[in-house]
Amino acid sequence: MTAQILDGNALAKRIRQRLQGVVAEWKNQGFRPPGLAVILVGDDPASAVYVKGKRRDCEEVGVYSKALHLDAAIDQAELEAHIDDLNADPNIDGILVQSPLSPHHDEDRIIDRILPNKDVDGFHAYNIGCLALRRPTLRSCTPMGVMQMLDHIGTQYKGSHATIIGASNHVGRPMSLELLLAGVTVTTAHKFTTNTEEMARQADILISAVGKPGLVPGDWIKEGATVIDVGITRGDNNNLFGDVEFEAAKERAAWITPVPGGVGPMTRVALLQNTMQAAASHLGISWKAL
Ligand code: NAD
């Protein structure tokens, strides 16, 4: 079997085009554009690239974007004061704080400071709690993008078995909650798991979110599985690697995401969708997920 490629770039582009139409319609009805604020702290080159991409996406769709580039030395209180300002800004629907922050920052406190209804990254304890209780609100972007990819394939995944490798607050944990919500049986592996290979071999859906190239050899893939590679590792020449041995995995999987061009663009478009969902709620417009 040779897998079909789950093309995140193409799918995200189609969703952006639909969002563009919705923003244009809102503007015609006299509403202000949705607004996204992105806070970048310090000069991490990869973060700067991500923030630039997010701004480009906003421009394409017609979302107002505001960028705050703050010095790495900014203290916690000052950073929190910027969040308070954005929480109070009536033109801002979503606030994203690009990680990593500086070592002296308490990232959990920063996320907690964002109003849950402006937490378009879906990282706030309130939003994660709502997802855990099967009442999703603003959902974490990467797992949301992955669910949209699974929906795109169109095969019935309720009752199937997913293995997620990685259990971080931003990816692995909310991913397991999303899949549980969708009626999937979920197994999660992490750095203390001793039988990851065995768990991977049983998976109808295998999701790796670790950041270690080659962590998942191709022969771990169950024949006909869907393989979602969230991992991104930047090589010496700035080229990107996923966690999965792509060429070998492709020969066993039914569907597989490439890196780059798989989950990354879907994460970005989920951020836009969350910003629009937040804006719809702030403006009193009904919102139907795309
Ligand atoms: P993280 O470092 O916070 O979490 C990594 C997780 O992997 C942890 O739960 C850890 O227990 C687990 N782990 C580490 N070694 C392991 C091993 N040998 N076997 C099994 N589990 C192991 O990272 P994160 O923020 O969750 O990101 C994970 C990867 O996904 C990174 O490469 C990151 O760049 C990438 N990422 C991609 C996107 C995207 O849009 N494609 C979005 C977010 C993160």
Kindly tell me if the per-residue pLDDT of 290 is higher than 80: no
Mutation test residue for ligand 1: of 50, 170, 171, the one with most atoms within 8 Å of CB: 171
Domain 30-115 has CATH 3.40.50.10860: yes
Is 54 labeled as catalytic in the residue annotation?
yes
Distance between Cα 2 and ligand 1 center (Å) = 27
Domain boundaries, the chain: 30-115, 141-264
Kindly tell me if the per-residue pLDDT of 243 is higher than 90: yes
Is 219 labeled as catalytic in the residue annotation?
no
Output the CATH code of domain 141-264.
3.40.50.720
- Residue 1's pLDDT band (cuts 50, 70, 90): confident
Is 106 labeled as catalytic in the residue annotation?
no
Distance between Cα 264 and ligand 1 center (Å) = 13
pLDDT, average across residues 55-69: 97
- Residue 283's pLDDT band (cuts 50, 70, 90): very high
pLDDT, average across residues 67-91: 98
Kindly tell me if the per-residue pLDDT of 289 is higher than 90: no
> Position 19: which residue type?
L
pLDDT, average across residues 274-282: 98
CATH topology agreement for domains 30-115 and 141-264: yes
Cβ of 138 closer than 6 Å to ligand 1, yes or no, is no
- Residue 288's pLDDT band (cuts 50, 70, 90): confident
DSSP assignments along the chain, one per residue: --PEE--HHHHHHHHHHHHHHHHHHHHHTTPPPPEEEEEEES--HHHHHHHHHHHHHHHHHT-EEEEEEE-TT--HHHHHHHHHHHHH-TT--EEEEPSP--TTS-HHHHHHHS-GGG-TT--SHHHHHHHHTT---SPPHHHHHHHHHHHHH----TT-EEEEE---TTTHHHHHHHHHHTT-EEEEE-TT-S-HHHHHHT-SEEEE-S--TTSB-GGGSPTT-EEEE---EE-TTS-EE-SB-HHHHHTT-SEE--SSSSHHHHHHHHHHHHHHHHHHHHHT------
Retrieve residue 5's tokens: 């490629």
pLDDT score, position 70: 98
Select which of 57, 121, 204, 229 is catalytic: 121
pLDDT, average across residues 241-257: 98
pLDDT score, position 184: 98
Kindly tell me if the per-residue pLDDT of 279 is higher than 80: yes
- Residue 226's pLDDT band (cuts 50, 70, 90): very high
Tens digit of each residue's pLDDT (9 = 90 or more) over 88-124? 999 999 999 999 999 999 999 999 999 999 999 999 9
pLDDT score, position 171: 98
